[in-house]
Amino acid sequence: MNRADVLGILEEYGLSAKKSLGQNFLCNEEVIGEILDLAKLDKTMTCLEIGPGLGALSEKAVFMAGTYLAVEIDTRFQARLSDVITGNGGKVIYKDYLELVPADLPDPSFSPDVVLSNLPYYVMTPIMLKVMKDFPSCQRMVYMVEEEALGRILAKPCTKQYGPLAVLTELFGTKKKCFNVDGGSFVPPPNTVSSVIVIERSEQADWKPEMIGFVEGAFALRRKTLVNSLSSEGVYSKDDIASALAEMGKKENIRSEEMVPSEFSDLYRILQGRKDK
Ligand code: SAM
């Protein structure tokens, strides 16, 4: 799908891009092809796409995966997506992905191998976290993100950008920035540079969706110590957290940004172990 195609589709279906829904439609065939290559879809796989828009990725992905499901918030795209997705054996749920519940899914065992999204920038982080929560066994996520979010995903400990997104994606698996995409590859062009990133689940990773709330709690009060921040969530007492940190050989006044991702897992395991006793 190139620029002329996107403009033609917008005209044919009487559509326009809504800025409030983060709508920047891909119009670069090369980029679309590279993203689909990274998804490594085959007929044994189930693919979930979040925000198919006009179908730049979907019109090909629907033929590459065995099962293809898209979740799109904007019902104005129904006619277009019936032509390119539903008409070709895929399914579309028209809903805010952040409000998606298991009952919305085509069947209760639905579990994507691959999640694909040119993410709407205004809800990028919550969507990424919900995917890891909803589909813990997903093998690969291929996302287009804005530069600022990329920094938060790849951030290292003791830096300003280091936080839940960096920790949780690391605990999930391996992450790799693949390439940048300039504004001219979208209609309309966004203000920032975008990047394509792949997050792959690693077999060794001991991923638990409960880690999301735990790590978010640890970073909730950024200026406070980990003990103060995490205890303010009301799940673990200050004493328990401090003694778990001591067991790990960590100082009591450590801040969350000083902990490497695996240390959050260790801390969670110790605290849960004590709770379960
Ligand atoms: N995939 C298309 C492409 O690459 O050209 C469109 C990408 S556009 C950046 C983001 C898409 O996500 C839009 O179609 C928008 O309507 C949709 N979207 C925005 N917020 C959403 C949400 N909360 N849940 C599901 N879809 C959403």
User: pTM of the predicted model, to two decimals?
Assistant: 0.95
* Rounded average pLDDT over 74-89: 98
CB of residue 79 inside a 6 A radius of ligand 1: no
* Rounded average pLDDT over 223-250: 96
Residue 182 lies in a domain: yes
Query: Do residues 235 and 187 both lie within one domain?
Result: no
CB of residue 190 inside a 6 A radius of ligand 1: no
* Rounded average pLDDT over 144-167: 95
Query: Do residues 143 and 42 both lie within one domain?
Result: yes
Residue at a domain's end among 201, 231, 260: 201
CA–centroid distance, residue 60 to ligand 1 (Å): 17
* Rounded average pLDDT over 43-48: 98
Mean pLDDT, the chain, rounded, equals 96
Residue at a domain's end among 201, 233, 265: 201
Over the stretch 125-139, which tens digit does the pLDDT of each residue have? 999 999 999 999 999
CB of residue 55 inside a 6 A radius of ligand 1: no
CB of residue 81 inside a 6 A radius of ligand 1: no
Q: How confident is the model at residue 222 (pLDDT cuts 50, 70, 90)?
A: confident
Query: Do residues 63 and 159 both lie within one domain?
Result: yes
* Residue range of the domain that includes 187: 3-201
Over the stretch 207-219, which tens digit does the pLDDT of each residue have? 899 999 999 999 9
Work out which ligand 1 atom sits closest to the CA atom of 97: 24
Q: Whose CA is nearest to atom 7 of ligand 1?
A: 118
**Residues 27, 206: Cα–Cα separation, whole Å:** 38
Number of domains the chain is built from? 2
Q: What is the DSSP string of the chain?
A: --HHHHHHHHHHTT----GGGT--EE--HHHHHHHHHHHT--TT-EEEEE--TTTTTHHHHHHHSSEEEEEES-GGGHHHHHHHTGGGT-EEEES-GGG--GGGSSSTT---SEEEEE--GGGHHHHHHHHHHH-TT--EEEEEEEHHHHHHHHPPTTSTT-SHHHHHHHHHEEEEEEEEE-GGGEESPPSS-EEEEEEEE-TT----TTHHHHHHHHHSSTTS-HHHHHHTTTSS-HHHHHHHHHHTT--TT--GGGS-HHHHHHHHHHHHHHHH-
Residue 276 above 80 pLDDT?
no
Q: What percent of the chain has pLDDT over 70?
A: 100
Residue 135 lies in a domain: yes
The contacts of residue 185 (CB under 8 Å, 6+ apart) are: 26, 27, 28, 31, 194
CA–centroid distance, residue 24 to ligand 1 (Å): 8
**What per-residue confidence (pLDDT) applies to 275?**
78
Residue 206 lies in a domain: no
Q: From residue 142, how far is each of 40, 57, 131, 159, 216 by CA, in Å?
A: 10, 11, 12, 25, 23
Work out which ligand 1 atom sits closest to the CA atom of 24: 9
Query: Do residues 165 and 29 both lie within one domain?
Result: yes
CA–centroid distance, residue 166 to ligand 1 (Å): 23
The contacts of residue 164 (CB under 8 Å, 6+ apart) are: 129, 212, 215, 216, 219
Q: How confident is the model at residue 189 (pLDDT cuts 50, 70, 90)?
A: very high
Residue 277 above 80 pLDDT?
no
CB of residue 21 inside a 6 A radius of ligand 1: yes
Q: Whose CA is nearest to atom 11 of ligand 1?
A: 51
Residue 195: which of 161, 152, 165 has the closest Cα? 152
Residue 94 lies in a domain: yes
Q: Are 58 and 219 in contact (CB under 8 A)?
A: no
**Residues 183, 186: Cα–Cα separation, whole Å:** 6
Query: Do residues 235 and 179 both lie within one domain?
Result: no
Q: How many CB atoms lie within 10 A of CB 206?
A: 11
* Rounded average pLDDT over 104-114: 93
**What per-residue confidence (pLDDT) applies to 206?**
77
Residue at a domain's end among 201, 221, 237: 201
Residue 252 lies in a domain: yes
CA–centroid distance, residue 197 to ligand 1 (Å): 17
Work out which ligand 1 atom sits closest to the CA atom of 18: 16
* Rounded average pLDDT over 191-213: 92
Work out which ligand 1 atom sits closest to the CA atom of 51: 12
CA–centroid distance, residue 51 to ligand 1 (Å): 3
